[in-house]
Amino acid sequence: MAQLNLAVGDLTGNTQKIIDHIDKARGLKADLVAFPELAIPGYPPEDLIFRSQFVRQNRESLDEVVAASDGICVVVGFIDSGGDDNYNAAAVSADGQLAGVYHKIFLPTYGVFDEDRYFRTGAACPVFVVNGVAVGVNVCEDIWYADGPTSVQSAAGAEVIVNINGSPYHAGKRTERENMLSDRASENGVFVTYVNLVGGQDELVFDGGSMAFDPAGDLIASADQFEEQMLVVDLELTDASAPRPIARRSDAASHVGQPRTVNVSGYTSVSGKPPVPRQLAQPLDEEAEVYGALVLGTRDYVRKCGFERVLVALSGGIDSSLVAAIAVDALGSDNVVGVAMPSRYSSDGSVSDAVALANNLGIELWTAPIEAAFQAYLDTLSPQFEGTEWGVAEENIQSRIRGNLIMALSNKFGSMVLTTGNKSEMATGYATIYGDMSGGFAVIKDVPKVLCYRLAEHRNRQGDGEVIPPSVIEKPPSAELRPDQFDEDSLPAYEILDPILKAYVEDDVGFDDIVGMGFDADTVKQVVALVDRSEYKRRQAAPGIKITPRNFGRDRRMPIANRFRPY
């Protein structure tokens, strides 16, 4: 199972990486090597699929992969095209010949997925005989259904299921996958091997975590998350020279296509091959898993977009400190620059915390005070603002000056700006459009505020010590845009806010039901109103890494002009 980090659209680079790993697998004496879903074009290619040139060149790249399959069976994802129809497909090749193709049957259209926009549904469930072993090949979503292709292929004699994936990460998903794959293996009495993509692509992170299960449903091998890896596993088949006879499939699975057998390669004795020690990756806890996703997603977004260095506005607060730490772990301290932009309201503690953080991380810190610019704005606007009370407009001028300055530095030096807003702020609109929302990538856009604190504490428990100053974690959060300002002046305490947001944003729980969960009705009404009227801001925000089951962006698609009120 070749768990690889591939790039969307990089047909040449992806193909070469696949061929390199075919060579590695051949050197390890493997009978079969499997690559992720749509490995050749990269996943998800989205509207690139509408470009006939892209689809054609992806098919030409497959020819190169097939030609490299001497002495080994290769399963690889690509876009198959027939006339006006495209398919999310798995090619099976051996000895330099294309033996057959499987077309994905279950096309997901929920959450971040929109596959029926691009692909037709497959109609067959082939079983491939590889070195005398009957192997069922299917793609990602296909294996989530009990009465799906796996049941058809096992009923048709398959002893091993090879499932290739581009399965994006969210917290807790590894356990969901493991439980489901165990069920498929034990229900059908087959070995199940699951190879997943790894790496970041725009808002999505693919965590790898490839796995293999025996016919009893026990996990027998697993790869690490968030790392490229070649997971090699020997499957102890009782009699590899005599695959199970073709059986009649169950009526329950009759809607997912006809089984058929394809001979790929004749039986070859494996008795002379030394056994491969079984590898079981150590599962990560939630904070380590989320932090790993954020680091990988940041590294790949910056690098795959062609940038080397990033800028982070350092306020001395928890969010910017966490983003800076993630950026350093993703890109190295030489490629991260902190930018402090103190105002008349910046506390001495915040300024010193930003300096301490920069020193701890080993990053350069630039300082650009905004007082002169702020006063110039106030002077310019004084004829229009005369006679009005100081308020949000004056506060947000400061944020927009900072956004302007850091984008100017980005423009001048070609560094990407990482924004620092968290999910709680994005949900409630507690962020300034064209101000602190300005930037190229929103690292913690899907991370609730309380989890930000847990992630900071997790980072400080690593071997290099407390890189985020304890004072940053301990002080009350504040935007510092007016005297003695704290977040709780405008929002409920985050320990109350975050569960309400999870219920309303991620779980679609209604107003009355949220109140029924024990929350104050006025507080729920305030939160729901803030979420609903901030949609226009979120639609203009930078993309950010998905780490929850439902993020703002690909997952949640609400109308901006919307008069429905749930209270």
In the chain, CATH 3.60.110.10 covers: 2-265
Please list, in sequence order, all residues whose beta carbon lies within 8 angstroms of the beta carbon of residue 95, skipping any fewer than 6 positions away. Answer: 69, 70, 71, 265
Q: What is the DSSP letter of 126?
A: E
Ranges of the chain whose pLDDT falls below 50:
240-253
Give the per-residue pLDDT at 246. Answer: 42
Kindly report the number of other CB atoms within 10 A of residue 82's CB atom.
Answer: 9
**Tokens in use for 271?**
């008795």
200 in Cβ contact with 168 (< 8 Å): no
CATH number of 2-265, picked from 3.40.309.10, 3.30.450.40, 3.60.110.10, 3.40.50.300 = 3.60.110.10
Catalytic residue among 104, 423, 445, 537: 104
Give the per-residue pLDDT at 252. Answer: 42
Helix axes 494-501, 449-460, angle to 10 degrees: 110
Using CB atoms within 10 Å of the CB of residue 443, give its burial: 0 to 12 exposed, 13 to 18 middle, 19+ buried.
buried
104: annotated active-site residue: yes
Give the per-residue pLDDT at 243. Answer: 43
Kindly report the number of other CB atoms within 10 A of residue 330's CB atom.
Answer: 23
289-482+532-539 placed in CATH 3.40.50.620:
yes
Catalytic residue among 140, 445, 480, 502: 140
Q: H-helix or E-strand containing 129?
A: strand 124-130
Q: What is the pLDDT of residues 385-436, one digit of tens each?
A: 999 999 999 999 999 999 999 999 999 999 999 999 999 999 999 999 999 9
Give the per-residue pLDDT at 380. Answer: 96
Give the per-residue pLDDT at 278. Answer: 82
Catalytic residue among 37, 159, 425, 506: 37
CA distances from 285 to 174, 190, 307 (A): 11, 30, 31
**Tokens in use for 376?**
């110039």
What is the rounded CA–CA span in Å between residue 396 and residue 375?
Answer: 13
Give the per-residue pLDDT at 242. Answer: 42
Please report where in the chains the tokens 């005989």 appear, as a residue. 129
| Type of residue numbered 356 | A
286: annotated active-site residue: no
Give the per-residue pLDDT at 80. Answer: 95
- Cα-Cα-Cα-Cα torsion 97, 100, 106, 109, nearest 10 degrees, comes to 40
Give the per-residue pLDDT at 418. Answer: 98
Three-class secondary structure of residue 101 per DSSP? strand
In the chain, CATH 3.40.50.620 covers: 289-482+532-539
193 in Cβ contact with 161 (< 8 Å): yes
Give the per-residue pLDDT at 553. Answer: 84
- Cα-Cα-Cα-Cα torsion 54, 208, 295, 413, nearest 10 degrees, comes to -20
140: annotated active-site residue: yes
What is the rounded CA–CA span in Å between residue 125 and residue 138?
Answer: 8
What is the rounded CA–CA span in Å between residue 450 and residue 459?
Answer: 15
Using CB atoms within 10 Å of the CB of residue 358, give its burial: 0 to 12 exposed, 13 to 18 middle, 19+ buried.
buried
42 in Cβ contact with 8 (< 8 Å): yes
Per DSSP, the chain holds a count of helices (H) and strands (E) of 16, 20
315 in Cβ contact with 436 (< 8 Å): no
